[in-house]
Copies of this chain bind each other. A is one copy, B any other.
Amino acid sequence: MPQGVPDNVPADGLTTRQRRNQPVLAVHTGDGKGKSTAAFGMAMRAWNAGLRVAVFQFVKSAKWKVGEESVMLSLDEVHRQTGNGAPVEWHKMGQGWSWLRANAEHADDHAAAAQAGWAEISRRIADEQHDFYVLDEFTYPLDWGWVDTAEVVATLRDRPGRQHVVITGRRAPSELIAAADLVTEMRKVAHPMDAGRKGQKGIEW
């Protein structure tokens, strides 16, 4: 489909090239499927373009998305062996963030764990440690007030260099949506769960 022609050109004094190279903040929200899946699809593409990818999963259960994790770590291995693509890191809150000494540190405090996750991401953004961040299901700690949305928006708005960020989850706060360059709402039209089916390996996870 013709995606190469912008609808209009803003009077922002930037050249097309400068505008093209601006980092993107994307939000995938809504009640439908595909929010995380599309984010991982974008991460695949970023990896192929040589962007250093880091995924941060803001869920306590690590049961879901093991398939995506396994594929992304396969791509990291491909990079190590062939030089194609780029490094990939995958961090999850579910088992305690991997960079923490004591994995059980926040075992009973989901809010503290989410705050520790954001603090680390914030440091990495300041250091320009990665080129493409997936903050998976990060809208929930924002929605629940565990992590301060205004601080997140300010940090993302002022982030240095050219770091792309994709945030997924339902109920994205309106301040976050206002700050994003690309917001897609995944709307559920029909789902096998409605017909009494449970998820199945390879399809749902």
Tell whether, in the assembled complex, residue B187 and residue A185 are in contact, meaning their CB atoms are under 8 Å apart: yes
Contact with B along A97-112 (1 / 0, CB 8 A): 0000000000000000
Pick from B7, B24, B196: contact of A9, CB below 8 A: B196
- Report B-chain residues with C-beta under 8 Å of the C-beta of A6: 193-198
- Contact present for B203 and A45 (CB under 8 Å): yes
Give every chain B residue within 8 A of A198 (Cβ-Cβ): 4-6, 16, 19-20
B189:A177 contact, CB within 8 angstroms = yes
Q: Which residues of B contact A77 (CB under 8 A)?
A: 78
Report the interface size for chain A: residues with CB under 8 A from the other chain.
82
Listed by A's residue number, 27 A-B pairs whose Cβ atoms lie within 8 Å are A6-B195, A8-B194, A8-B196, A9-B196, A10-B195, A10-B196, A12-B196, A16-B198, A19-B197, A19-B198, A20-B199, A24-B200, A28-B34, A32-B185, A34-B184, A37-B37, A37-B38, A39-B41, A40-B41, A45-B205, A49-B201, A50-B202, A74-B75, A164-B202, A182-B190, A184-B186, A187-B187
